[in-house]
Structures are given as structure tokens and as C-alpha cells.
Amino acid sequence: GNSVTQMEGPVTLSEEAFLTINCTYTATGYPSLFWYVQYPGEGLQLLLKATKADDKGSNKGFEATYRKETTSFHLEKGSVQVSDSAVYFCALSERGGSNYKLTFGKGTLLTVNP
Amino acid sequence: DTAVSQTPKYLVTQMGNDKSIKCEQNLGHDTMYWYKQDSKKFLKIMFSYNNKELIINETVPNRFSPKSPDKAHLNLHINSLELGDSAVYFCASSQGGSGSGNTIYFGEGSWLTVV
């Protein structure tokens, strides 16, 4: 079945540091890949997505590239801010039987200190 | 206007009780979902509905019964609540399936505590 493995946290960084959160996946076909963010006490918001190999998703300074050869979708940001403190989830979904569900990784808690 | 709204936001109840969580979306989407987030933040799909038809029932105990009266609403009823049901329940919606790259929009969650 499908699965997502993402870097275990928590991750603690200083403001303006470089961020990488690793995400790899297992899927039977060609999934769409997503990063969602959950701020404290809130629901999930889509951060970015990519639907095919070599696509790059980007939003709010965050980027992730769909790498089919390494089955990865690592999240990066060049300079984090305190307001980026949140839980980040990597997720995938496939056409066919998994079209109507997201399979999530376990989430990575990011704390950015001033 | 809140795109996906669910009520109540907080619910504390005793074991054995029956409770419902309501969800409404005003995005005009044809697909709605219930996800469960446990105390370790792990998210797992419970149910998916497309055009009011149940598409996914992810091995959820039959104490949980979703009901979709129309495409804009998906309610979750839970019978005989157990301590292990304590979690955050998220309602969500999308236009078409996420496998095609469609974004799933989440509500703010309903925090259920069973005592």
C-alpha cells in the first residue's frame, strides 16, 4: 500500500536559518504529492503541491520538488521566520483506489526561535 | 466566510454516550471527508463521500456512522463512545479526488474528549 515517511522532529531552528524536512514515499503508481501545515490550534492548510515528476511546488518561500527517481518530496525554505513554527505534513494521493484519500506522514514539528 | 465549518469545536463527554459532529462546506465541492488526528498528531482518513456516495470507509468501527444529506454536508455520529475515541476530528472537502492533484480543504477540527 501507499505510505509516506517524513523526518522525525521536533526540529528547532533560529530565525533566518535554512530549513529542510525530508519526505519519501511509496506508491504503486504516480501520485500527487502535498505539503500541509498545521498551526497551533488550527486545521490543516495546503502549503504546496506537485502532481507529476520534476514539478516544483512553491508558496510563501517554501519549495519542494517531485523527484520520482528518489521517490522524494523534500520541503525547503531558505530563511525561516518565527511565524513558520507549526507542524508540517507530507502527504500523497493517487488516482484509482486512493483518489479520495490523502495518506499522511507522521508530521514534523518545527519551532523557530527569535 | 468559513469554507469548511464544523461544530462543535470542543466536546467533552462520558464513556458510553452518543454524540454527533456536524460539517458544512460552502465551496461547492462534490467530495467530503472525515479524518482523525490522534494525540501524536497522526492523521488518518476515516470516510470519503463523493456526490453523497460513500467511497472510502477505512476500517472504522461501526459505532461511527457518517451521513451526507446533501453534497454540502457530512455529519459524523458516534455511538457508545470509548476512551480511545478521544481525538481531533477534521472534516474536509475537495472538488474531485486528491489523486488528480485537487486540493483538500480542512475545517478547524473538533476536539473530542471522552472521560
Rounded distance, CA B54 to CA B67, Å?
9
A32: nearest CB among B31, B33, B101? B101
The pLDDT of residue A41? 86
The pLDDT of residue A12? 97
The pLDDT of residue A108? 96
pLDDT along chain A (114 residues), means of 10: 90 97 92 95 94 95 97 98 97 80 94 96
C-beta atoms of B98 and A100 within 8 A: yes
The DSSP letter of residue A84 is: G
What's the mean pLDDT when you consider all of chain B? 94
Rounded distance, CA B49 to CA A112, Å?
38
Confidence class for position B25, pLDDT limits 50, 70, 90: very high
CB B37 within 8 A of CB B90: yes
Residues 93 through 112 of chain B touching chain A, CB cutoff 8 Å: 97-101, 103-109
pLDDT above 80 for B111? yes
C-beta atoms of A51 and B100 within 8 A: yes
CB A92 within 8 A of CB A41: no
The pLDDT of residue B1? 65
Closest-CA residue in chain A for B109? Answer: A43
Closest-CA residue in chain A for B10? Answer: A41
